[in-house]
Structure 1
Amino acid sequence: MLPDPVSALALPADPAVAEGAPQLSCARVEPLREIEILDEYGERRRILIPFERPLTIYVDKRELVTLMTLGAQPELLVLGYLFNQRLVQRLDEIASIQVDWEVGAAAVTTHQGLTEIESRTAQRVVTTGCGQGTVFGDVLSHVESVRLPDARTARISQSGLRALLDVVRQQDSLHRRAGSVHGCALFQGSQMLMFVEDVGRHNAIDTIAGWMALHGVQGGDKVFYTTGRLTSEMVMKSAQMGVPIVVSRNGVTQMGHELATRLGMTLFGRAANRHFLCYTGFERFDAEPLPAQAPAVRVVAG
């Protein structure tokens, strides 16, 4: 049995499950598979690679979408997907989520059905990036109704950002052992509350959204971290989770930048160790600039 990917740092115990939470199966599966490879030296050896699986979501026996996932926490992935697609608004709308890997399906049962599901899922947008995701077109029309806390109550300092990045640096991960995955984390200050990896960054953020919904965790005082680039999809989902500050190891797209600016979100990119770029939301950031580096002196031999 491989070690748990979050075992390097002790995460706090999950808060209590929120009132009205659905019944969930526990269908977590091993995310890595061992294979034999031939390297550039002509040597055969065994390595680990991510084990990607299709998971088809059925809502009240109606097929909705198929997600490609590692299957680390599939019930939370499905729950977060439904919330981030705005197909459900409240936790108590869902009676149960049951995942069965023998048939690669997640059966979602609601209490009273989802209203107008046909029209709400008619338009689909295939999003960018590895493990391509699907966003239903109706989501984009609602995102600007999101109200985030103002800059007086939701802030981050440069030292706080460094502390967050240091926690991420120490975190054991599937990526270190096998590569080919994205990681996402939810922070309160420098404390990591939740960490998950998947083949697509959109799956990882949906899993965190599911965890937040299941436990009634609010996003206003949280920071979201991702290894993936900040596309419009990632910015949109962070906003719907109520998280106003987002940190990425990668960069930002034009649409991601524009959407974050309109929503008043703070985006950090190219963030690793002591380095970062703050793209938007400067008013939430308490900067503590590093001393300017002296220019290198070129020595010319005489």
Structure 2
Amino acid sequence: MTPLPANFFDDAIRIYPRQHYAHGQWHQEPAEVVIEEPLTLFINGREFVTMVVTPTNIQELIVGFLAAEGFITNAEEIRVFQYHPDDKQVWIRVPHLKEEQLNQFGKRYLSGCCGRGRPGFYFADDADVEPLHLPTRPYHLDVHRINHLFLELTQYTHQQHSGGLHAAGLADSEHMIAVRFDAGRHNALDKLYGYTLLHQITRDNKVIVFSGRLSAEVIIKTGRMGVPLIISNAAPTTMGLELADALGITVIGFVRNDEMSIYTHEERLSTITTL
């Protein structure tokens, strides 16, 4: 693992005083607290959305967010990008986007789940999520390699002491390629997605290593990224697993010490034997 630069988390935390109780005594001490602040995105001169984010890797965040929401497919579609940290604003220009596309953002409707007839309550901008039909070739990841990937992510997260940042890592079968952090787990994924687009990294043979719950939103973002496998130390949700099953995503949860649970598409992994 490559150690993070000493100032890596400077834009993600502030130092707050706190009264801390331990071993029967109170004492005052400085503590790292995650920064969470609004960020307003303007698209083509129009105020589009205000997100609550940790203000790091902002360009990656916006690129990944727009790709995850289906507005762009590559970073070059954003012709102008201006970040004004003092005003907590980002101004971008995406010439091909139409007003009606922007108006659909955030609208909900009732529909079947990925063509399987199961009803679900989804955002309108998730309607274009189609099954990935990714090949189910073995990944040659056994339990030891999976544990090692999560241990590698944990080593990154232990370098920050606030306890309030979610982490999302992109890995191949050998090593971690990039790790991104945010107070919001979905923002961490968007930053990672933006990183891959800005650096033109292929994703259909990669793994996401994640520190948060595997909800429907997380699985949809994983599907939009085209990554066929996600590993987490946390739990999945029922809707998350239904989507993962339909989209062809392998979900591995509760990766802790020498334990893990594979919920969907176990055929993608090698060396699985059920007793």
Do both proteins adopt the same fold according to a TM-score greater than 0.5, normalized to the shorter chain?
Answer: yes
Hey, what's the Cα distance between the residues in 2 that align with 1:70 and 1:61? 24
Task: Choose 272-281 or 28-37, whichever is displaced more.
Answer: 28-37
Hey, what's the Cα distance between the residues in 1 that align with 2:139 and 2:133? 9
Question: Do the aligned partners of residues 163 and 265 (structure 1) sit closer, same or farther apart at CA in structure 2, a change above 3 Å counting?
Answer: same
SS in 2 for 1:171: helix
Identity %: 24
Q: Does 1:158 align with 2:143?
A: yes
Which residue in 2 is equivalent to 1:137?
123
Question: Do the aligned partners of residues 274 and 289 (structure 1) sit closer, same or farther apart at CA in structure 2, a change above 3 Å counting?
Answer: farther
In 2, are the aligned partners of 1:121 and 1:136 still within 8 Å (CA)? no
Which residue in 2 is equivalent to 1:149?
134
Q: Does 1:199 align with 2:180?
A: no
In 1, are the aligned partners of 2:106 and 2:125 still within 8 Å (CA)? no
Question: Do the aligned partners of residues 121 and 75 (structure 1) sit closer, same or farther apart at CA in structure 2, a change above 3 Å counting?
Answer: same
| Pairing of 1:181-196 with structure 2 (within 5 A) | 181-196=165-180
Report how many residues are paired. 258
In 2, are the aligned partners of 1:221 and 1:243 still within 8 Å (CA)? yes
Q: Which residue type is aligned with residue 140 of structure 1?
A: D
Hey, what's the Cα distance between the residues in 1 that align with 2:91 and 2:139? 37
Question: Do the aligned partners of residues 263 and 136 (structure 1) sit closer, same or farther apart at CA in structure 2, a change above 3 Å counting?
Answer: closer
SS in 1 for 2:170: strand
Q: Which residue type is aligned with residue 163 of structure 1?
A: H
- How well do the aligned residues superpose, as a CA RMSD in angstroms? 2.6
Q: CA deviation at 1:278?
A: 0.5
| Pairing of 1:1-302 with structure 2 (within 5 A) | 8=3, 30-40=11-21, 41-114=25-98, 116-121=100-105, 123=107, 137-143=123-129, 145-152=130-137, 154=139, 156-173=141-158, 176-287=160-271
| Residue-by-residue CA offset, 1:245-295 (whole Å, 9 max, x unaligned) | 0001100000001111111211000012321111111111223569x9xxx
Hey, what's the Cα distance between the residues in 2 that align with 1:29 and 1:117? 37
Hey, what's the Cα distance between the residues in 1 that align with 2:78 and 2:122? 20
TM-score normalised over the length of structure 2 = 0.85
Q: Rg: which structure is higher?
A: 1
Which blocks of at least 5 consecutive residues in structure 1 are unaligned? Answer: 1-5, 11-27, 126-134, 293-302
Hey, what's the Cα distance between the residues in 2 that align with 1:218 and 1:115? 31
Which residue in 2 is equivalent to 1:132?
none
TM-score normalised over the length of structure 1 = 0.78
Task: Choose 279-288 or 100-109, whichever is displaced more.
Answer: 279-288
